[in-house]
Amino acid sequence: MNERISDKAALDAAHAVHPHTNLRRHLQSGPNMIVKGDGIEVIDAQGKRYIEGAAGLWCAALGFGSERLGEVAKQVMTEIGYYHTFRGASTPWVSDLSAKLGAIAPKGLDKVLLQTSGSEANDTAMKLVWSFWEAQGEPSRVKIISRHNSYHGTGALTSQLTGKANFHVGFGPGFDRFRYVTEPYYYRKALEGETEAQFSSRLAQELDEMIQAEGPETIAAFWAEPVIGSGGVFTPPEGYFPKIQAVLDKYGILFVADEVICGFGRTGEMWGCQTYGIRPDMICCAKSLSAAMLPLSAVLIGERVFEAMLNQSDKYGSFAHGYTYGGHPVSCAVAAEVLTIYEEMDLIGHVKSIEPAFVQGFESLRDHPLVGDVNAVGLIGCTELVADKQTKAKHAPEVQITARFEAAALERGLITRNIGNRIALSPPQIITAAEVEEMFTRYRDTLDAVAKEIA
């Protein structure tokens, strides 16, 4: 077994090009080969087990491996394997999933456009925003405002919508339709003595000023994850979204909520929009929609946008947009079964019952000498590692604090998601209270070990 895997590692190093990886190093070191899953754990080629505290890429809501979902996939693959949704065609699996998703969508967002990935969903929503304003007779509204350190995808346009600075370099010049406001990073972006509520007001004012400076007649939409995920896990400070929403309402600007991470219970409600009182015009979701067992995403479309789509389709003869694999029947059947499992396990009730232990797990790390900031809600959270708790000074790069944490955590059988100095957890939603306790024991042990190492 091990020999076979190490052959595979050599093949991987020789041929597989990996995203978000130092490619030259990979040629030498090869992959971290994961060969099996079991509940919230994954198992590597040497047989070592890890708690997957990041649910893969914030997505494996039901953990790893499922006979039940495998049976569903097998049946649909055997029966038909593929059909499309173009030119009015459909399959029962598309109809069922769309209806199920429409039923759990926030009120008024029950039109479902199925896609394949989170990036596709965001890219599609962007086109719908521009189409909406054209239909309203305001085609000059093309600019989209997102936040620094937001993450909305990796396509040519979605990587521009994404507010992470490293997404804006290395691939030639950007596009001129995107603007970024300050992200709700209270720990570092609040002024001395500023309360959360004051900080939220200031960020809403910044947005208002940007809209005025650009000209409200040029602004199409505001884009936000309810909790920023891959940019560093920033839970919104008190009053943030209602204040932002009020500014958008003033100018009639659309609000698109990127719930690719937050959807399906991650923040303690079905949608992050419900946790934070957001009234979006569209929601993009993916990841937990299919528990990541197969690629699938969706755009949930609100009434005013759908009305514009009808008008545009009248004007141009059809809605000229779609992907070959959008609404893939095997993915749809699996996702519909995933939604049934969520009902059976009472997903939201379960997350709410685990949330106190999870949030308390993070809060209990607040007094650790390495920990500066703590952010947590539902089943998503992080710490920020600092060199000095009082001054919030960061560790010097040569300390390699995050790499040290990662190595020590892996040694202890814990996979976390590390974003700069922020060490995130977003475990599978099926996690139990006992598993949460074990996860935080390993997290704290890791912090202790790293503190000792650098002392």
Q: Pick from 111, 143, 152, 328 the residue near ligand PMP by CB under 6 A.
A: 152
Residues 6+ apart with CB under 8 A from 43: 34, 35, 36, 37, 49, 50
Per-residue mark of binding to ligand PMP, 210-229 (x: CB under 6 A) = ---------------x---x
Per-residue mark of binding to ligand PMP, 174-213 (x: CB under 6 A) = ----------------------------------------
CB of 61 to ligand PMP, least distance (A): 14
CB of 321 to ligand PMP, least distance (A): 17
Among left, alpha and beta (phi > 0; psi -120 to 50; other), residue 219 is beta
Q: Select from 81-89, 91-99, 117-125, 208-216 the region that touches ligand PMP (CB under 6 A).
A: 117-125
d(CA 362, CA 364): 5
The residue number whose beta carbon is nearest to ligand PMP equals 118
Per-residue mark of binding to ligand PMP, 66-105 (x: CB under 6 A) = ----------------------------------------
Among left, alpha and beta (phi > 0; psi -120 to 50; other), residue 164 is beta
CB of 125 to ligand PMP, least distance (A): 11
CB of 256 to ligand PMP, least distance (A): 11
Nearer to ligand PMP, 153 or 361 (CB): 153
CB of 121 to ligand PMP, least distance (A): 7
Helix-strand-coil split of the chain, %, nearest 5: 45, 15, 40
CB of 97 to ligand PMP, least distance (A): 17
> ∠ at Cα 326 (298, 309), nearest 5°?
65
Query: Which structure tokens are listed for 27?
Result: 């040629």
Q: Which residue has the tokens 């001129």?
A: 176
Q: Pick from 66, 85, 115, 119 the residue near ligand PMP by CB under 6 A.
A: 119
CB of 422 to ligand PMP, least distance (A): 15
CB of 122 to ligand PMP, least distance (A): 6
CB of 411 to ligand PMP, least distance (A): 26
CB of 59 to ligand PMP, least distance (A): 8
d(CA 335, CA 363): 34
CB of 282 to ligand PMP, least distance (A): 13
- In 3D, which of 219, 224, 247, 255 has the Cα closest to residue 133? 219
Q: Pick from 66, 122, 124, 245 the residue near ligand PMP by CB under 6 A.
A: 122
d(CA 132, CA 141): 10
CB of 147 to ligand PMP, least distance (A): 11
Q: Pick from 117, 331, 416, 446 the residue near ligand PMP by CB under 6 A.
A: 117
Nearer to ligand PMP, 72 or 260 (CB): 260
Give, as ranges, the residues between 277 and 306 that touch ligand PMP (CB under 6 A).
Answer: 286
Residues 6+ apart with CB under 8 A from 343: none
Residues 395/401, Cβ–Cβ less than 8 Å: yes
d(CA 326, CA 114): 5
Q: Pick from 106, 153, 239, 265 the residue near ligand PMP by CB under 6 A.
A: 153
**Beta pairing partners, 285:** 298
Query: Which structure tokens are listed for 336?
Result: 């519909």
Q: Pick from 13, 57, 345, 399 the residue near ligand PMP by CB under 6 A.
A: 57
Q: Select from 116-124, 138-146, 352-360, 388-396 the region that touches ligand PMP (CB under 6 A).
A: 116-124
Nearer to ligand PMP, 147 or 404 (CB): 147
Phi, psi (5° rounding) for residue 224? -155, 140
Q: Pick from 203, 261, 270, 419 the residue near ligand PMP by CB under 6 A.
A: 261
d(CA 176, CA 222): 15
**Any contact of residue 266 with ligand PMP (CB under 6 A)?**
no
* Alpha-carbon dihedral angle through residues 378, 408, 451, 363, given to the nearest 10 degrees: 10
Burial code (b: 16+ CB inside 10 Å, e: under 16) for 75-112 equals ebeeeeeeebbeeeeebebbebbbebbeebbbeebbbb
- In 3D, which of 163, 93, 81 has the Cα closest to residue 122? 163
Residues contacting ligand PMP: total by CB under 6 A: 16
Q: How many CB atoms lie within 10 A of CB 312?
A: 18
Residues that bind ligand PMP (CB under 6 A): 57, 117-119, 122, 151-154, 225, 229-230, 258, 260-261, 286
